Amino acid sequence: MKIVLALGGNALQSDPKDKTAEAQLNTCKETAKSIVDLIEEGHEISIVHGNGPQVGQIVACTETAYKADNSNVLFPFDVCGSFSQGYIGYHLQNAISEELKKRNINKSVGTVVTQVLVDKNDKGFQNPTKPIGSFYSKEEAEKLQKEKGYIMKEDAGRGYRRVVASPKPIDVIEKDLIKNLVASGAVVVSCGGGGIPVVQENNTIKGVAAVIDKDFAAEKLAEILDADVLLILTAVDRVCVNFNKPDQKSLEVMTLEEVDRYIEEGQFAPGSMLPKVEACKKFAQFKEDKTAIIASLSKAKEALKGLSGTKIVK
């Protein structure tokens, strides 16, 4: 089967307190074992990953330097996103290649720095809410608003932070390249962190300060590749309703009607399980024979066999 994997944060950083490059590489080596398990069974795998902590670190580093010497050097957010794609992709392709060699599987693995098209009129741009980077005083925030055009908002009494939009993906700019690589049998890491958000202006594309949810980017890529399965891997074995309550219930299957009802009931947390469920719903609607699954990284193989995970069906 042709599968698009969406890797959650636990696939890159097992200990949230240890954000070093060494810790990420070690976690990627463990993640690679689950990915290569699927490759070993004959599946074609394409990978999308998140980048929240990593891009946050990159932005914070540039902001710390900016504060320290009052220089004018602040990398644009889209550039920071590209940094994170290279950094994470390097670790994933290194770890997966190593695991493939251990099992005598001859496959190429590579990362595509990916631009993802969004609509410049997306409603997300009208009310940016995604906080990124460091905390600032009111005076520093006002200076950044004036000099850089940032949108700064007060964050729970801790200071001011920059906020950006979270638009939905429309298309993947490098889609033909990715399709050709996948067709050649390569394992491709792309759309990292949801992709670098870009908008179309006449005959050019231009990076914008925004964050695309990686689950929606993975869904869009799965459509483009005509994948059989969208497999969103996270920290839990199954989706639950009434989460952390006495009557918590794990779900093996959800129909689209049930998805809508549970969303209306507020069963899924925004920024956590909700985008995963919504992305799976969209893929299940894409074509009649498509399968969308939310499962834990450690039980990816079992999830494909229906022994774990939550399947969203039309």
Active-site residue set: 9-10, 130, 214, 276
Q: How far apart are CA 187 and CA 69, in angstroms?
A: 43
**What is the tally of helices (H) and strands (E) in the chain?**
9, 17
Q: Residue 170 to residues 96, 103, 223, 293: CA-CA distances in angstroms?
A: 29, 38, 11, 22
Q: Render the burial of 153-174: b for 16+ CB within 10 Å, e for the rest.
A: eeeeeeebbbbbbbbbbeebbb
Q: Kindly state the DSSP code that residue 295 receives in the 8-state scheme.
A: E
